[in-house]
Each structure stands twice: as structure tokens, then as C-alpha cells.
Homo-oligomer: A and B are copies of this chain.
Amino acid sequence: MKSMSEYDFELNKICKIINEKKYRKIMVQIPEGLKIYHEKIVSTIENGTDAVVILSGEPCYGACDINEGDADFLVHFGHSMITEPGIPYFFAECRSNIDVLKVVEKSEGYLEKNVGVLTTVQHINKIGEIKDILEKKGKNVFVGKGGKRIRYPGQVLGCDFSSALSIMDKVDCYLYVGTGNFHPLGVSIATKKKVIAADPYSNEISGLEGLKEKILRQRYAAIEKAKQGERFGIVVGGKTGQKRLGTAEKLKEMLEKNGKNAHLISLNEIKPEYLLYLNYDCFVCTACPRIAIDDYSMYEKPVLTPVEIEILLGKRRFEDYVFDQIE
């Protein structure tokens, strides 16, 4: 298990702000990967202040998911801000102090000459170090600036690959430093370039080609299955940064013009059991783009992304497949 000391939770700073501003009700959001530390986090804030802490119990996968409740201060751990909350807030981005040197050096042999560097907010302070290591090895290194949902150059989200796309013309390949496959996979599909993932925890280097082919086959199958469908349920997310009602309404219109029935469904948490009793042949998810992909095998009916509906209706070729992104 990772240790709590590996991350900077900034608890002293948080207590100081709460005491100075005399906040009384603190909502605390912790992403799933760090939730094991919830007791220590809540206790430290309660012991260091006069405030009552309310831990947000629902799973939290990103800064798109803001739960203010009835608190007067929000502390959101593990993500950088995307949209400003409606109450005073602090985003504790939880930088990791794990060493990236070793795995980046190890990645060298897999990389081309011109490399785009990408990582998550946990390692974003290591971007300079990563760049230096690679440049010393003779690489040309590029760090792209992302769109408005991206806080730091080189940062990538599971639903936003803009920092990779912005340097697409300059690089032959990308190096993603971090854990998990989804981010580099999205970059691979979005850019059609080689992507190498370097995991500083396991010290493993991996290519994405095999997984990419597997996921694309699954997506193709889901689209084909959905083509038989007559009735489409379009899911609209309820979370602050996942609401795309406009997209949902456009999809509804597009489907109806093509002779399909389409209804809108609002959901905060999207779960198989909520869709099970809704009588549609296929669902389209306009909330978190990862649900359709990551949870593929959990759903009985096909769940498509908005991009995939374009393919289904013949408005986009499968060869031009990209992951859904929130803009």
C-alpha cells in the first residue's frame, strides 16, 4: 500500500486557512485512490480547527465532481481545479514525492527523437526534471499547454488530452509518466502517435498498442450492437463539470432525425443498476467520458459516447475514432 507520507496533503495549510477565515462546516472530497486516508485527514482537520468536517461519501473521480453540500468551505483532494466551486475552496493537489528518475531513464530506449511529455497533477512538479533527464539523453522534449480545464503544462486528464494535442505536430511520440492506462490510451487514440507509459510506482514501461486495439474492437462491437437499437436513452450528468445538456439535446435531435427514439435521463452517479430497468436499447453517456470505455463489461446494453453516435449514424468514419472529451 502507498503510504500517506508519499503525498503532500497540505493539512497544516488547510487548518491555517480554516482558522483564519473561521470556517465552520468543511466539506472534504477525497478521490478513491486516496480515500484510505480519510480518517486521518478528517481527524487532523477537526483537531486542528474549531470546524466540523463532513466527508463526501460518494466516489470522486475528478474535479468535475464538486460536492459543496451545505458547507462554508470545500477542501478537494487529489485534483486540480476545473471549474470554480460556488463556495470558498482549497484544492489540495496531493503531489507525490515518489522518484521518477529511474523509470524515465529506463524509458529512453523506447522513445523517438522528439518526445512530448505528459503526466497527472500528482507528478506535475517533476515535469522539469523529466525534461532535463530526456534532454541529457539527446531528446528534443516538448511540454504542451492544455485547454482551459488543464491547469499545468504537460498535465493530462482522463477526459482532456489537449496538452498532448497542442504539440502533436512537433513530436514523434509521447512519454506519459504515471499510473493507469486510460490517460496514455486516450492520447494514443486522440493523436495516433506512439505513446509510452512509464509507471514510477511499479517501475514498468509499457506500450499502448495492444490495449488500444482491444478497446477499439470493443467500441466497434458496441456501435454495431447499438445500430440495431430503436430507442436511445441519453444520459445527462448532474455533476458540475460533467453537465452537457446542450450536447445531449443535439444528440436527441440527431437521433430523431434519423428515425430513432431518444429520451434524456439525468443521473449523478451512473451505475448499471440504474440503467437496468430503463427500457432503452442503447444508452449514450454525455457525462464522464470514461464510463462507456472503462465500465464496458458492466453494462448489459451498449453505452456509447457522443462521438460514437456520430459513427453509428454514418457522420464519422470509424477510422476517425477519438475518445470523447469534455470541453
| Chain A interface (Cβ < 8 Å from any Cβ of B) | 27, 32, 35-36, 38-39, 42-43, 46, 52-59, 67, 69-70, 231, 235-236, 238, 243, 245, 249, 252, 261, 263-270, 274-275, 277-279
Return the chain B residue nearest A235 by Cβ.
Answer: B57
How far does the Cβ of A81 sit from chain B's closest Cβ, in whole Å?
20
| Minimum distance in angstroms from A68 CB to a CB of chain B | 10
Q: Decide: B263 and A57 in contact? CB cutoff 8 A.
A: no
A52: which B residues are within 8 A, CB to CB? 249, 252, 264
Query: How many Å lie between the Cα of A46 and that of B46 in the bound state?
Result: 50
Q: Please name all residues of chain B whose beta carbon is closer than 8 Å to the beta carbon of A56 when the two chains form the complex.
A: 265-266
Docked pose: A235 CA to B249 CA in angstroms: 36
Residues of B within 8 A of A277 (CB): 32, 35-36
Q: How far is B279's CA from A36's CA once the two chains are assembled, in angstroms?
A: 8
Complex alpha-carbon distance, A160 and B323, angstroms? 48
Please, which residue of chain B has its CB at the minimum distance from the CB of A265?
B57
- The answer to whether A268 and B268 touch (CB under 8 A), given A69-B238, A275-B57, A278-B57, is yes
- For the complex of A and B, the 8 pairs showing the least CB-CB separation, nearest first, are A57-B267, A57-B265, A54-B264, A55-B265, A54-B266, A42-B263, A69-B266, A57-B274
CA distance A56 to B237 in the complex (A): 10
**Cα A279 to Cα B57 with chains together (Å):** 12
Residue pair A58, B274 in contact (C-beta under 8 Å): yes
Most chain B CB within a 10 A radius of its CB, from A27, A54, A67: A54
Bound Cα distance A263, B55 (Å):
8
Residues of B within 8 A of A245 (CB): 70
**23 A-B interface contacts by CB (under 8 A):** A35-B278, A36-B277, A36-B279, A38-B278, A38-B279, A39-B231, A39-B263, A52-B249, A52-B252, A54-B265, A54-B266, A55-B263, A55-B265, A56-B265, A56-B266, A57-B265, A57-B274, A57-B278, A58-B268, A67-B266, A69-B238, A70-B243, A268-B268
